[in-house]
Amino acid sequence: MTELDTAHAAMDADPDNDAARLRFYERLADTEMFLLLASEPEGDDDINPEVIEADDVQYVLVFDREERLADFAERAASYAAVSGRGLAQMLVGQGVGMGVNLGQPSSILIPPSAIDWLIETLGNAPEEAQARPVEITAPKGLPESVVTGLDRKLATAGGLAEVAYLSGVTYDTGARGHILTYVGAVEGAEPALARAVAEALTFSGVDAGMIDVTFVSADSDFVARLERVGLRFDLPKPEVPQAIPGSNPGMDPARPPKLR
């Protein structure tokens, strides 16, 4: 059972559970998928996917394991590796759906309307603001699903920061809330890391309000205060350098690969 299988099983067991459905689509967006191709790609920006048709709708075929793709194809098949997010960006607005893990426990046909919804949901970008924290406290009152969602989302950001702390915060304006502080973020990764928090809230399935995001260097005096009261999230350390989201084919919304 893969993570996508588990999320699909939870959604299938309780069709009226919006939170379970959101978690499935979150897993799909974050998972590296293998897109079955009809022919060898001519380049990263020009790929020809295998397509099936069901109820007058065309679907490309993707799998979360190479072995699953090979079992389905029953032949030596070409494929392209792309995140679920990247694939959705390629398909949005084209009237083409996504056949996920056909023949496997998480087999599902995702219609074009659901892909359009997913891209719209992922497009909820965080807004920039300026305020000065005057008090940092232990986080209180956040639903467990939000904390779990943050932990799951930050596990996909390995190599982009050293560690993150969730804490309560009071600003010089008197406003109170919660803040997630990234320590030692890679230069240029800040937008992707901020979006990760926004998506964790979106897919938590509850009205969780907002969590502010800030970035500090590893030698900042602020880190000692966070260590005393904050909830620590250790980001995975990849064995090889990890590209910043948006730099790989299929990951840049402004320059997705072309389907032909």
Burial 122-146 (b: 16+ CB within 10 A, else e): beeebeeeeeebeebeebeebeebb
Structure token pair of residue 59: 């679907």
Instruction: Determine the pLDDT at residue 234.
Output: 94
171-188 residue pLDDT tens: 999 999 999 999 999 999
**Rounded to an integer, what distance in angstroms lies between the CA atom of residue 211 and that of residue 213?**
7
Looking at domain 3-123, its CATH class is: alpha beta
Residues 6+ positions from 23 with CB-CB distance below 8 Å? 7, 10, 11, 203, 205
Residue 234 token pair = 């250790």
Q: pLDDT band at residue 121, thresholds of 50, 70 and 90?
A: confident
Tokens at residue 237, please?
């350390």
Residues 134, 128: Cα–Cα separation, whole Å: 19
Q: What is the dihedral of CA 6, 7, 9, 11, to 10 degrees?
A: 170
Pair 249, 87: CB distance under 8 Å = no
**Position 107: which residue type?**
S
What predicted TM-score, i.e. pTM, was given to this entire model? 0.75
Q: What are the extents of the domains in the chain? A: 3-123, 133-234
Residue 167: strand pairing partners: 179
The DSSP secondary structure of 99-135, one letter per residue, reads EESTTSTT-EEEPHHHHHHHHHHHT-PPPP----EEE
Distance CA 260, CA 252 (A): 18
Between CA 122 and CA 129 the distance in angstroms is 20
φ, ψ (nearest 5 deg) of residue 181: -110, 120
Q: Please tell me the predicted confidence (pLDDT) of residue 205.
A: 67
Q: What is the mean pLDDT of residues 103-124?
A: 92
* Fold agreement between 3-123 and 133-234: no
Whole-number pLDDT of residue 239: 58
pLDDT at 253 exceeding the cut of 50: no
Instruction: Look at residue 28 and tell me whether its pLDDT is greater than 60.
Output: yes
pLDDT of 260 > 90? The answer is no
The yes-or-no verdict on residue 33 having pLDDT over 60 is yes
d(CA 213, CA 182): 8
Residue 126 confidence (pLDDT): 73
CATH class as words, domain 133-234: alpha beta
